[in-house]
């Protein structure tokens, strides 16, 4: 009887737990992008030996020579991490040496607006041959509820040569799997990264506890939920909430312009209410790797359950139309000054999708530039964070940032991204016409400014 008790109380997680405690656990982070690189640095600061995996040889080389490719992560931070043992590699063979593997690869949409999980499945297929007993695999990429259990676990189980299975409790042999969404808000320094609570859902309580233990070393608080699907859905709820509310104010902005009411003034008044209201601000359209994309992961999955996510679809429709609305306003503002857009010179201020960052993904500026060019305008841009732009997933702009001194030469200047280092009063004083999509010129009284 004693023997049976000893056997059933076996805890296979003890060794990894101890290694986390002593900082001897080796951490592998897959995807050295906006999410994976800062996460690597956090673990490195906490004295873990971190290995960054990426398929992009230029990123691997830059990191291994102490360089950087993300504006807000300075080179010295990488160099410090390297002194703590941080290295980058393209070699998946090194996965076997890792105790914890965290996946932070892209989850975009394909051309039909459906989830493109190829980066996740490619990564999981590359990890599986090197999987070993007791390893903890965590997915951080944003995705639809069910991905961890329905896609990641089966691929790991079927492609690992040792026939290991996911361990659903601490007494079972195998590897552990969890999902924990990334909640970072790039450029927002109001909350320290470690103070953003980390939501964790495991394939069983043992995986959840282990994932919580590793994240507790770098985050002030972890929030355990009952399954990976709950954690996956939590991230989507957060982003859908933002997407829908931004669509609401984008629609109201169009109405307020017709009614000659300043919506920004309205929002400022409304947010004095101490409860029940959170301010969202209108803009030229959605950008970034999250808000324009993630909601559609849920819409797609919902169809499997004969369900139409109408709020998401409607919000998508309103937000996608915003760059067109901006271009209509540019045409109108120019024609009121006796100018046609076709043949005119337009300078777009801000290429990044939001203030004070260098990320161009899904940026409304790119769509606005394309729409202006299609209508015959000669378009240039200025962005202090983006000295040049080549070919992206959708657009081939091949442009360099135009110095602000040239503003007087343009027929119209369009503020698409309200970077804080711009001197807006100076811009307005030099420009023939300013179309402001961000209310960045608020308080500047000039007949040359059109806000939309
Ligand atoms: N950027 C954000 O602010 C943010 C915030 C929250 C969540 N997320 C989510 O995090 C995930 C990653 O986003 P990101 O912004 O860091 O993307 P990113 O494009 O900046 O970085 C992804 C990295 O993964 C690498 N990669 C692609 N396939 C790989 C593979 N098979 N093996 C190894 N490396 C591979 C790419 O080369 C790239 O360096 C996405 O699911 C995104 O939705 C991003």
What is the rounded distance in angstroms from the CA atom of residue 363 to the CA atom of residue 313? Answer: 19
The helix/strand/coil state of 200 is strand
Mean pLDDT of 85-97: 98
* CA distances (Å), origin 129, targets 93, 160, 162: 8, 5, 8
Q: What is the pLDDT of residue 214?
A: 98
Using a pLDDT cut of 70, give the percent of the chain over it.
Answer: 98
CB-CB neighbours of 417 under 10 Å: 28
Burial 320-335 (b: 16+ CB within 10 A, else e): ebbbebbbebbbebbe
How many CB atoms are closer than 10 A to CB 428? 21
Tens-place pLDDT, residues 41-68: 999 999 999 999 999 999 999 999 999 9
The predicted model gives 240-251 an average pLDDT of 97
Work out the average pLDDT over 409-425.
Answer: 98
Q: Which residue is catalytic, options 203, 243, 290, 412?
A: 290
Q: How far is the CA of 215 from the centre of ligand 1 (A)?
A: 19
What's the mean pLDDT when you consider all of the chain? 95
Whether 172 shows a pLDDT value over 70: the answer reads yes
| Structure confidence at residue 113 (pLDDT) | 85
Ligand 1 atom closest to the Cα of residue 359 is 1
Mean pLDDT of 76-93: 98
Q: How confident is the model at residue 111 (pLDDT cuts 50, 70, 90)?
A: confident
Q: Which two tokens stand for residue 369?
A: 């530039």
According to the model, what pLDDT value does residue 6 have? 47
Distance, in Å, from the CA atom of 215 to the CA atom of 199, rounded to the nearest integer, reads 10
Cα–Cα distance list, 221 to 216, 303, 310, 321, 430 (Å): 7, 35, 34, 39, 49
Least confident interval from 65-69, 192-196, 246-250, 413-417? 192-196
Give residue 8's pLDDT band: very low, low, confident or very high (50, 70, 90).
Answer: low
The pLDDT score that the predictor gives to residue 4 is: 47
Confidence tier at 3 by pLDDT (50, 70, 90): very low
Residues 366 and 394: their CA atoms lie apart, in Å, by 9
Strand bridging mode 388-391 / 396-400: antiparallel
Residue corresponding to tokens 């080796």:
26
Neighbours of 403 (CB within 10 A): 8
**pTM listed for this prediction:** 0.93
Nearest CA to ligand 1 atom 41: 141
- For the residues 355-362, what does the mean pLDDT come to? 92
Confirm whether 256 is a catalytic residue. Answer: no
For residue 156 the two structure tokens come to 């790991």
Q: Which atom of ligand 1 is nearest to the CA of 294?
A: 43
pLDDT at 2: 45
Q: How far apart are the first and last CA of the chain?
A: 77
Ligand 1: atom nearest CA of 59 is 39
pLDDT of residue 9: 63
Q: Please spell the DSSP secondary structure of 361-388, one letter per residue.
A: TT-HHHHHHHHHHHTT-EEEEE-TT-SE
Report the residue count for the chain: 452
What is the structure's pLDDT at 189? 84
Q: Whose CA is nearest to atom 33 of ligand 1?
A: 54
For residue range 319-338, list pLDDT tens digits in order.
Answer: 999 999 999 999 999 999 99
Q: Please, how many CA atoms are within 13 Å of residue 368, restricted to the half-sphere of its CB?
A: 36
Whether the Cβ atoms of residue 237 and residue 153 lie closer than 8 Å to each other: no
Judge whether residue 5 has pLDDT over 80.
no
Q: Is the pLDDT assigned to residue 398 strictly greater than 60?
A: yes
Query: How much distance in Å is there from the Cα of 105 to the middle of ligand 1?
Result: 4
Which residues line ligand 1 at a C-beta cut-off of 6 Å?
A: 30-36, 53-56, 59, 104-107, 119, 122-123, 126, 141-142, 182, 184, 186, 289-290
Ligand 1 centroid – CA 107 distance (Å): 7
Least Cα distance to 349 among 310, 385, 302 occurs for 385
- The residue-averaged pLDDT of 129-153 equals 98
Could you read off the pLDDT of 302-323 as tens digits, one per residue? 999 999 999 999 999 999 999 9
């Amino acid at each position: 009887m004693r023997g049976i008790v000893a056997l059933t109380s076996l805890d296979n997680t003890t060794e990894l737990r101890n290694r986390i405690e002593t900082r001897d656990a080796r951490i592998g982070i897959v995807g050295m992008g906006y999410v994976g690189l800062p996460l690597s640095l956090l673990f490195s600061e906490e004295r873990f030996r971190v290995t960054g995996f990426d398929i992009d040889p230029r990123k691997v080389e830059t990191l291994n020579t102490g360089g950087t490719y993300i504006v807000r992560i300075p080179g010295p931070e990488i160099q410090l991490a390297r002194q703590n043992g941080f290295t980058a590699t393209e070699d998946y063979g090194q996965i076997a040496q890792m105790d914890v593997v965290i996946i932070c690869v892209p989850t975009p949409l394909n051309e039909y607006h459906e989830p493109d999980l190829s980066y996740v499945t490619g990564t999981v297929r590359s990890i599986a041959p090197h999987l070993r007993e007791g390893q903890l695999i965590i997915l951080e990429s944003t995705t639809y509820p069910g991905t961890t259990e329905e896609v990641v676990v089966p691929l790991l189980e079927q492609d690992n040569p040792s026939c290991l299975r996911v361990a659903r409790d601490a007494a079972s042999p195998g590897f552990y799997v969890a999902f924990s969404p990334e909640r970072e808000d790039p450029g927002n320094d109001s909350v320290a990264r470690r103070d953003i609570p980390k939501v964790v859902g495991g394939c069983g309580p043992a995986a959840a506890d282990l994932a919580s233990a590793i994240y507790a070393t770098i985050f002030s608080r972890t929030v355990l939920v009952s399954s990976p699907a709950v954690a996956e859905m939590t991230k989507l709820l957060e982003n859908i909430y933002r997407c829908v509310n931004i669509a609401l104010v984008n629609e109201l902005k169009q109405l307020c312009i017709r009614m000659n009411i300043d919506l920004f003034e309205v929002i400022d008044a409304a947010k004095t209410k101490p409860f029940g209201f959170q301010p969202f601000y209108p803009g030229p359209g959605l950008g970034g790797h999250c808000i324009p994309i993630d909601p559609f992961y849920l819409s797609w999955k919902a169809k499997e359950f004969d369900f139409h996510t109408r709020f998401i679809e409607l919000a998508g429709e309103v937000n996608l139309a915003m760059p067109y609305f901006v271009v209509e306003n540019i045409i109108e503002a120019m024609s009121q000054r006796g100018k046609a857009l076709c043949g005119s010179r337009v300078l777009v201020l801000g290429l990044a999708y939001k203030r004070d960052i260098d990320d161009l993904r899904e940026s409304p500026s790119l769509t606005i530039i394309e729409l202006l060019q299609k209508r015959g305008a000669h378009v240039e841009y200025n962005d202090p964070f983006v000295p040049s732009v080549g070919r992206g997933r959708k657009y081939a702009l091949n442009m360099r940032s135009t110095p602000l001194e040239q503003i007087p030469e343009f027929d119209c200047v369009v503020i698409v991204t309200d970077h804080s280092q711009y001197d807006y009063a100076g811009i307005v004083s030099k420009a023939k016409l300013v179309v402001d999509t961000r209310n960045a010129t608020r308080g500047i009284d000039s007949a040359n400014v059109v806000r939309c």
